[in-house]
Structure 1
Amino acid sequence: MAQQLPDTGISGLYEVVHAVKDARFAIKYFGEYGFRVIDSSAVSAADAQRMYGVNSGLKTYRMQNGEIDSHGLLRLWVWDKPLGEGVGYGVPETIGQRMAVMKTNDIVRLFDIYSNLRDLKQLWLPTEPIADDLFGLNKPDQISFFKRPVLVRENAVYGEFFTHVFFQRYGYEIPGYGTIGPSTPLKTSEFTHHDFIINAPSLDVISYLSTVLGLKSEGPPEINGDWQKGPKKVFMMDTGYTHWYQGFVSPNNICGKLKFFIPRGQKPDRSAHQRVGELGMTLHTFHTSKLDMVYGLVKQDNRLTATAIQKNELAERCFNFRDSAGVSWQIIEKMSTKNKPVTKLEFTSTNN
Structure 2
Amino acid sequence: MNNNNPTIEGIYEVCIGITEPLPMIQYWQQFGYRIGKTGELTAPTVKNLYGVNSNLRSIRLYHQNVDHGLIRLMVWEKPINEGLEMTSMKVLGNRWATSLTTDVLNILNHVEDGKLAGLPITYTFPQWEIIYKTEKGRPFIDPAVGVREMMLLQPLTRQVLFERFNYTVPEYGKIDRTSTLKTSQFTHAGMIVQDDSKETLEFYEDVLGLLRARDNSETSYESSEAARQIFDLQPGEKFTLTAFDDPRSSTNWQEARSGRMYIIRFPEEIKLQSGFDKSQPGCLGMSLYTYRVNNIKYYFDRVKNSTVTQITDIIDNEFGEHSFSFVAPDGYLWNLISK
Q: What is the TM-score normalised by the length of structure 1?
A: 0.87
Match of 2:241 in 1: 245
Secondary structure of 2:205 counterpart = helix
Q: Is the 8 Å Cα contact of residues 62 and 74 (structure 1) preserved in structure 2?
A: yes
Alpha-carbon distance change, 235 to 7 in structure 1, aligned in 2, over 3 angstroms? farther
Q: Is the 8 Å Cα contact of residues 175 and 182 (structure 2) preserved in structure 1?
A: yes
Match of 2:287 in 1: 282
Q: Aligned-pair distance for 1:303?
A: 3.2
Match of 2:254 in 1: none
Matches for 1:26-37 after TM superposition, within 5 Å = 26-37=24-35
Match of 1:101 in 2: 98
Deviations 1:214-256 (A, max 9, x none): 1111344454211332423432423222124321111124111
Match of 1:343 in 2: none
Q: Aligned-pair distance for 1:202?
A: 4.6
Calculate percent identity across the aligned residue pairs: 26
Q: Is the 8 Å Cα contact of residues 197 and 262 (structure 1) preserved in structure 2?
A: yes
Q: Aligned-pair distance for 1:280?
A: 1.7
Which 10-residue stretch deviates more, 224-233 or 148-157? 224-233
Q: Is the 8 Å Cα contact of residues 307 and 328 (structure 2) preserved in structure 1?
A: no
Alpha-carbon distance change, 8 to 63 in structure 1, aligned in 2, over 3 angstroms? same
Match of 2:55 in 1: 57
Q: Aligned-pair distance for 1:190?
A: 0.2
Residue 297 of structure 2 is aligned with which of 292, 295, 315? 292
Tell me whether 1:39 sits opposite 2:37 in the alignment.
yes
Tell me whether 1:257 sits opposite 2:260 in the alignment.
yes
Q: What is the TM-score normalised by the length of structure 2?
A: 0.90
RMSD of aligned Cα (Å) = 2.3
Q: Aligned-pair distance for 1:199?
A: 4.6
Matches for 1:117-128 after TM superposition, within 5 Å = 117-128=114-125
Mapped partners of 1:13, 1:305: distance in 2: 21
Match of 2:76 in 1: 79
Mapped partners of 1:5, 1:214: distance in 2: 12
Which 10-residue stretch deviates more, 171-180 or 243-252? 243-252
Mark the runs of 5 or more structure 1 residues left unpaired by the alignment.
Answer: 335-352
Q: Aligned-pair distance for 1:90?
A: 1.0
Secondary structure of 2:263 counterpart = strand
Secondary structure of 1:12 counterpart = strand
Q: Aligned-pair distance for 1:154?
A: 0.8
Residue 234 of structure 1 is aligned with which of 230, 235, 244? 230
Q: Which amino acid aligns with 1:299?
A: K
Secondary structure of 2:180 counterpart = coil
Q: Aligned-pair distance for 1:110?
A: 1.2
Q: Which amino acid aligns with 1:99?
A: W
Secondary structure of 2:259 counterpart = strand
Mapped partners of 2:206, 2:222: distance in 1: 32
Deviations 1:104-137 (A, max 9, x none): 0110121232233234443211111112221112
Mark the runs of 5 or more structure 2 residues left unpaired by the alignment.
Answer: 250-256
Match of 1:322 in 2: 327
Q: Is the 8 Å Cα contact of residues 90 and 232 (structure 2) preserved in structure 1?
A: no
Residue 206 of structure 2 is aligned with which of 199, 202, 211? 211
Deviations 1:62-81 (A, max 9, x none): 0011121x111000001100
Mapped partners of 1:83, 1:258: distance in 2: 26
Q: Is the 8 Å Cα contact of residues 93 and 274 (structure 2) preserved in structure 1?
A: yes
Which 10-residue stretch deviates more, 269-278 or 308-317? 269-278
Mapped partners of 2:218, 2:80: distance in 1: 35
Mapped partners of 1:244, 1:152: distance in 2: 19
Deviations 1:251-300 (A, max 9, x none): 12411101112334334322222222111222111112232221111011
Q: Is the 8 Å Cα contact of residues 276 and 332 (structure 2) preserved in structure 1?
A: no
Q: Is the 8 Å Cα contact of residues 309 and 328 (structure 2) preserved in structure 1?
A: yes
Alpha-carbon distance change, 58 to 174 in structure 1, aligned in 2, over 3 angstroms? same
Secondary structure of 2:300 counterpart = helix
